[in-house]
Chain A
């Protein structure tokens, strides 16, 4: 059984205090790749809502817009209605399988480069370096007493944090309304309360998560690393310290005195100093590692300085690590990336994408839903005929008004009219004009001879009378006396 000391720790607390992480500036191919990814992702996030897209007079001009008020989702050419939400579900499934694919191939690469938490943490760490200086200056300042200089620097830094956080929260709401209009309304106090609340919440979360919690989100709060461990196997590329090459560690001088007794690692601790999550990769694969590979950049530059080959820390699979340890030569990375598992994920991912593209091209933009009114189930008319009432819902999902024709089949002698017309206009089919981008509701009255089966199935069909004659149909029943429950 654990003694109370084990539970409470030496300071009487159940939790370990956070150790400050002050990552050192580093340069190298992976750092430059990270810069590029950061620039692209931030540009996408902040810039997308401002792309304009002309859809004509009946729809908004924003390329990507989640129009919750009117229940539409616009993405460039594609317009999604609520009943087509399965496209969004498909995108989510693709995103999931995409993560499986990336993780099984290159480990936590998503975490290291593209995850918003990583991108914003990186951004805030650059702010730290800009204001407080690099690693050593940051540590000195953190331990320094509260002098005027520290107060000024801290105030300035948090002000920049807050500006970035506010900008981030502000960009989010632009996806949900026309961006220029919303910006104007926001600053003139005319935007909806939900806009201000959303900006406030996202500003606060960005400020706290990006500015202060940082790697603690990746290690303690995020569920994804737990799942990722199940997605990875011994053939996944991980950032690996090649201990068989590096150990035992010794300084350059010590190694010169005793050639052959020490490994390549000069114990300079640069890999630890540059790590944004503050781990020591030389302790082996661990949950805190987001495989951002900055330690590879740091180690390679040190190895170049001391004249030893690069790759003491490198992307390497567990299988290859075992091979190299035994003195063999690891197969090329290409073989690691293209193996049955990744190809299977890629196949699944691609199949779902192609299926969605196919249905997207095939979908009709005219949709019919019919509901049989049940109170009353039927109406006896004075000439002996029977009338049934239906509610039609006609979705015209195109951005133009359309003329459509409603026809019946399978109900001999039937005639129909809607509440928009008079009973005298009853005929075998009727024409209606549908407003663009709207659901039009109409009551449909159908009269059929009184003689016939008590319950008769028939079909109501709609088709457009313009250049795209595709339509929709639904089978529904007609009731006559004798069908009472």
Chain B
């Protein structure tokens, strides 16, 4: 019998293919362990201590090393992280946190209530958000080895959201480190997170390694909450200031993820088979703050005049370009969240030159220069300011656009005598109480009596419905008192390698539950 030489081979191949198919279907989705995850950051973080600063690059790295008592889930509700269970007293003034057991710091020490007390007390001093919380805190004490009691002077409804936020994070660290650094950032980065700090070579890389004693929660992973598993052996962050270089690095396979790529390239990169641009759907509010201590813009009529003169569509169109990457809405929070509100919408995106002129005349404005601080360091700030300034000039305002690098803007805006407006981006915050415009200490200094009283009620109300009712009134007040101009919201885009499966686009990097490519 003459056999055709290929038959046996074909038969073997079919058999192998069948075997592979069967194995694949029965093996289940056991995620790959090992390898290195490589993230290209927008620059060098000022520190890796997420308690001491609100800087985004720090939170991006710190969120893998440190953990808080709570963490946000996908719908931005705080869920327990280091806390096992907790109770809130009916008057909303006593929180009792029972900690998880057998949680180990990266120095092998077990997490206890004393570490939590020391870390929170330090956060109350060095963290800008901690300081806000601690205005309401009476005392934080360790009731026993695993129980922490937080007593408040008055109810503070957004407490758990503050404890869950990765930026200006209520990071839990060993008591000795927390107590040794009462001012400024810590020098030792020891947390309980899925990855431990290994080395930081300035301007070259920050290297983290899997924390082998990490004890994950058991709930299904849900953004920052739930089970965290350090799948990769290492996570390395590279500071790459040039955006084109970050992009090229993902295209060539040197990085797995690039932070914040330019939105102009979104369409082009979508067509590139090697990479996937991922939109982070919680955006940045592009805002113009008014100085309420300046003789000019302390006048609410003048602020209203500027607000109604502006047409937001062209501002965002020029600044961002691709309509997939920005959103126009009077509401600060998107539809479907508890904080969606249309109160005050009639003041948003008006672009009425005549009404602006009328209001300016009523305010007694006589063409005095409005000093507007901006920077070229973030090109979107400069673009947005330039378009808005053109619109305002058309409505009869004299705009003195002052361009500094970012550090210069930050210094000048702290001095009330030197400006009327400045441009910035306001990162997403899960609870409205965290929005800077409500802080009377934040440049712009909004502290009208109505706002102060409403905001006080809002932070004290424990019942969600009551808080929503008060939020609508505050939301309206932001517009009627023209405390700032929120032009709209734009979205950051991260770029990932196509082969990197399971990446979660989020405001701060999620490095766990993420299998490395190699």
State whether these chains interact. Answer: no
